[in-house]
Amino acid sequence: MFNPARATRLKWMVALLIGIINVSVFCVWIPAHLNASPTIVRANEIWDRAEKVIFLALELGLNGYFMWLIRSELISSGLTKYNALFKFNVAMVALSVSLDAVIIGVMSLPNDLE
């Protein structure tokens, strides 16, 4: 990213979003594990999945932006040596996103330990 102000703004927005999500998880998770009420326990189950979906969307957005920057700033300028990097990163993003989706899916399976 050639614009340092834009990079700083992106870093702070991501940090703020992740911080807000982590604080909200903290506020729901502790009462749920203290069995404060069945409503809080159910809210924790729902919010845990929602948090992971939000993180998945954030990861997709950041990786998509990175891919767009590589293609628009490097490859389109004639630097074809970055084609291999681009293809490798696309594969890694697909793998990472699929693993996140598997984690979200596995959370819905029955848990015999509870």
How far apart CA 61 and CA 30 sit, in angstroms, is 30
* Structural domain of 73: 4-106
Report pLDDT digits (tens) over 74-111. 888 888 888 998 999 999 999 999 999 999 999 888 87
Within a domain: residue 87?
yes
Within a domain: residue 111?
no
Report the number of distinct structural domains present in the chain: 1
Within a domain: residue 50?
yes
Task: Give the least confident one: 55-59, 71-75, 100-104.
Answer: 71-75
Residue 114 confidence (pLDDT):
63
Q: State both tokens at 49.
A: 């999945």
Within a domain: residue 112?
no
How far apart CA 71 and CA 77 sit, in angstroms, is 9
Residue 2: pLDDT over 80:
no
58-64-54 Cα angle (round to 5): 15
